[in-house]
Amino acid sequence: MRRPMFVALCLSGTVILGACAKSPDAEVQRALKDVNVIDESNLSDIMLTVGDPDEAVTYFKRTAEQNPDRIDLKRGLAKSLVRAGRPQDAAAVWRSVLLLPEAGNDDRVALADALIRGNEWSAAEAELNKVPPTFETFERYRLEAMIADSQKNWKKADSFYEIASGMTTKPSGVLNNWGFSKLTRGDAAGAEKLFVQALTYDPTTFTTKNNLVLARGTQRKYELPVVKMSQSEKAELLYTLALTAIKQGDVNVGKQLLREAIDTHPQHFETAARSLAALEA
């Protein structure tokens, strides 16, 4: 009478052992999947930062097509399109991202950024107007400042630039933009202060150094500022200063600065030499 019970227990044991036998393989598969996700995440980060922009576009486009439900891959595609200098295509992808339920205000701000890069200022403003005022981020205020700037609403632009610069530990870029805005308005002294401030956060950006020289030259300060620069950069900055002087009618000062630029450059400075020859002729 006990034999059927024994058989049943044996059969039950077989099922349990079978389940246990499958378990390690399932765990391995799960672990491999996790590793693949980690590897993919690392590859995505590389593609968005140091990878070739066009290769990044190809990678994200292919991977997003294979995983149409993955919003992170669509975001990666949009960002890589911006890096590749294709803002219109990026804007189209950001619009598709916004149709997904996981999309948020950051995605709409990113769309506005792509639209600005594509010179679609009105469309960018319309997108930012859809973002609630309680959503306060550096990117949002940076773009708001740029739009106000484009509309010559200086008071509003200054307010947004100030807010944006206080919301990041790396404000050099926004301070440079703010300084250039001041320069275009004719406030060279105010621009100079902002360029100097920007360089305290990032002393390596040549564009900011060049803008600083422009601001100083506009005030007829024809000596280079005390900033870190290579020999080539020094020659280029002297050339910028020379052109600024010539434009303001200080031709002799401009000639002297051109000569100094030619002498300073580690190689033959063709552009400066041509300008000097034209002036002396």
Q: What is the DSSP string of 10-78?
A: HHHHHHHHHHHHHHHHHHHHHHHHHHHHHHHHHHHHHHHHTS-HHHHHHHHHHHHHH-TT-HHHHHHHH
Angle 243-244-248 from CA coordinates, rounded to 5°: 115
Helix axis angle, 172-185 to 188-201, nearest 10°? 170
Q: What is the pLDDT, as a whole number, of residue 28?
A: 47
Q: What is the pLDDT, as a whole number, of residue 26?
A: 59
| Among 92, 66, 68, residue whose Cα is nearest residue 78 | 92
Residues 112-138: pLDDT tens digits? 999 999 999 999 999 999 999 999 999
* Chain centre to alpha carbon of residue 50: 13
Q: Which helix (H) or strand (E) holds 102?
A: none
Entry field: residues in the chain: 281
Better-scored residue on pLDDT, 11 or 234: 234
Residues 250-270: pLDDT tens digits? 999 999 999 999 999 999 999
In angstroms, rounded to a whole number, what is the distance separating the alpha carbons of residues 148 and 143? 9
Q: What is the pLDDT, as a whole number, of residue 281?
A: 82
In angstroms, rounded to a whole number, what is the distance separating the alpha carbons of residues 33 and 54? 28
In angstroms, rounded to a whole number, what is the distance separating the alpha carbons of residues 247 and 263? 22
Residues 91-114: pLDDT tens digits? 999 999 999 999 999 999 999 999
Residues 190-222: pLDDT tens digits? 999 999 999 999 999 999 999 999 999 999 999
What's the pLDDT band for 7 if we cut at 50, 70, 90?
A: very low
Per-residue pLDDT, averaged over 15-40, amounts to: 45
Would the pLDDT of 229 be above 50?
Answer: yes
Average pLDDT, the chain: 87
Residues 147-166: pLDDT tens digits? 999 999 999 999 999 999 99
Share of the chain above pLDDT 70, in %: 82
| Among 125, 204, 215, residue whose Cα is nearest residue 178 | 215
DSSP 266: S
Q: What is the pLDDT, as a whole number, of residue 137?
A: 97
Residue boundaries of the structural domains of the chain: 229-281
Would the pLDDT of 45 be above 80?
Answer: no
The DSSP code sequence of 120-151 is -HHHHHHHHHTS-TT---HHHHHHHHHHHHHT
In angstroms, rounded to a whole number, what is the distance separating the alpha carbons of residues 199 and 201? 5
Q: Are 225 and 248 in contact (CB under 8 A)?
A: no
Per-residue pLDDT, averaged over 217-233, amounts to: 96
Distances (CA, A) of 203 to 76, 172, 173, 178, 199: 30, 9, 11, 17, 4
Q: What is the pLDDT, as a whole number, of residue 69?
A: 86
Residues near 153 by beta carbon (within 8 Å), at least 6 away in sequence: none
Give the count of beta carbons closer than 10 Å to the beta carbon of residue 234.
Answer: 18
Residues 53-67: pLDDT tens digits? 889 899 889 988 998
Q: If you search the block for the tokens 């997003």, which residue do you land on?
A: 64
**Tokens found for residue 93:** 């992808």
In angstroms, rounded to a whole number, what is the distance separating the alpha carbons of residues 114 and 2? 77
